[in-house]
Amino acid sequence: MNGPFDFALALADDALIAAQRLAEWTTRAPEMEEDIALANIALDQLGAARLLLSYAGEVEGAGRDEDALAYLRDDREFRNALLVELPNGDFAVTMAKLFFLAAYQLPLYTALAGCADQRLAAIGAKARKESAYHLDHGALWVKRLGDGTEESHRRMQAAVDQVWPYTHELFAADPAAPVDPATLRPAFDEVVGPVLAEATLTRPDSGWAPGGGRAGVHTEHLAYLLAEMQVLHRAHPGAQW
Burial of 76 from C-beta contacts in 10 A (0-12 / 13-18 / 19+): exposed
Sort 9 into a burial class: Cβ within 10 Å, 0-12 / 13-18 / 19+: buried
pLDDT at 42: 98
Q: Which domains does the chain have, with CATH numbers?
A: 3-235 (1.20.1260.10)
The whole-number pLDDT of residue 17 equals 98
Which pLDDT belongs to residue 206? Answer: 80
In three state form, how does the secondary structure of 27-73 look?
CCCCCHHHHHHHHHHHHHHHHHHHHHHHHHHHHHCCCCCHHHHHHCC
With contact defined as beta carbons under 8 Å apart, do 147 and 153 qualify?
yes
Task: State the DSSP H helix or E strand holding residue 23, giving kind and residue range, or none if neither.
Answer: helix 3-23
Q: How far apart are CA 59 and CA 15, in angstroms?
A: 19
30: three-class secondary structure by DSSP: coil
Q: H-helix or E-strand containing 71?
A: helix 66-71
Instruction: Divide the 241 residues of the chain into consecutive groups of 10 and give the mean pLDDT of each group.
Output: 86 98 96 96 98 97 96 98 98 98 98 96 98 98 98 98 98 95 98 98 92 97 98 89 71
Q: Say what the pLDDT of residue 82 is.
A: 98
